[in-house]
Structure 1
Amino acid sequence: MIILASKSPRRREILGKFFKDFKIIPSKVSEESDALSPREHAIEVARKKAWDVYSREKGTVIGADTIVVLGDEVLGKPKNEEEAKIMLKELSGKTHVVITGYCIIHEGDEISNAVITEVKFRELSEEEINAYVKTGEPLDKAGAYGIQGKGGLLIEWIKGDYYNVMGLPMQVILELQKLGFNPWKK
């Protein structure tokens, strides 16, 4: 049984495209980390989430953590509309990276890594930023945007895994396939 240690609707949607039978058991751990790099941070948080759920529930557990990094700055989820506007202004016209750390625990063994995707935003007008923030979409997403929704209009190009930007890279599905789970089944 696959267990997703996340309440993210986007991760649930992606996993559901490939596997019909899985459970969702959100982790109860903090997303804080003392890691030195954003990549290490994402992996460490994913590991904490996966092991937290695995300690309570047996099965193949997936933990993931997605962060948006602009230069040296990690952009988390905005606390309010004003913070979302500030983040979107910072991202406007620039390239940033989206890093998803993941950890899969299968029969007590751990597979963990991170996937990095480059994303380039268009130059955004203040009107576009305000209109997008008014949709409410940015408020529960790292970097204040969702590529799979209206936030896709903000993006000029991406280099890498689209699903990674949504929060669950294809590498996770491929790792599950190696472990014997069949993503091709109807």
Structure 2
Amino acid sequence: MPRQSTVTEVRLNNIIAHLTPIVTLLTELNDAFSPPFVPVISNTIPSLINAVQNVKRNKKECAELTEKVPRVLYAIINLHIKSETAGSLPPSLLNHVGKFMETLHKIYVFVEAQQDGNKIAQLFRNNEMSNLLKECHAGLDQAMKVFGVSTGAAMFNDIGDMKKGANYMHEELLAVIQTLSDASTISDKSLVYLGANDLRNR
């Protein structure tokens, strides 16, 4: 009889399910607008997913830490979509995205260290790992506050809600990209038209 997953393992699997669609959103956001820090964040998420999948120790701590990450990431993506200049954030917010990028890297280091025989864990003393965990939580709490993520409410009630939310955000992002593409096409046609008129008038 197969071993039943613990509550913490279920939480970790749900976190992976929440993180996976974010990779696509971040990739498309980056391809369309190349916003600062997004490429690094986008590259870190698959590594974090892999680390979460292979956690062997401190699973509860890893779950408590990483389950906030998708909520912050969705908030950051949404800010890029809803901003006055699509895909661009004001400098003050960009600074906080950069800080979250640093926090995300620390989270990855902590989770990665919870695997059997991990070299990172061998380099860290227990108190250093404890300090790293505190820094991760502090950075996440700050990000949730700055990006307006509710600390009380769950991001999605279940995986079905998560998929609907991710799909909706994906459609919003594609609509913004399409709108900008259409505007660019109209602008290009206008330039061609003006150029043709200019030639006729010479």
Relative contact order, higher structure (CA 8 A, sep 6+): 2
Greater share of helix: 2
The two structures have a TM-score, normalised by structure 2, of 0.25
Greater share of strand: 1
Larger Rg: 2
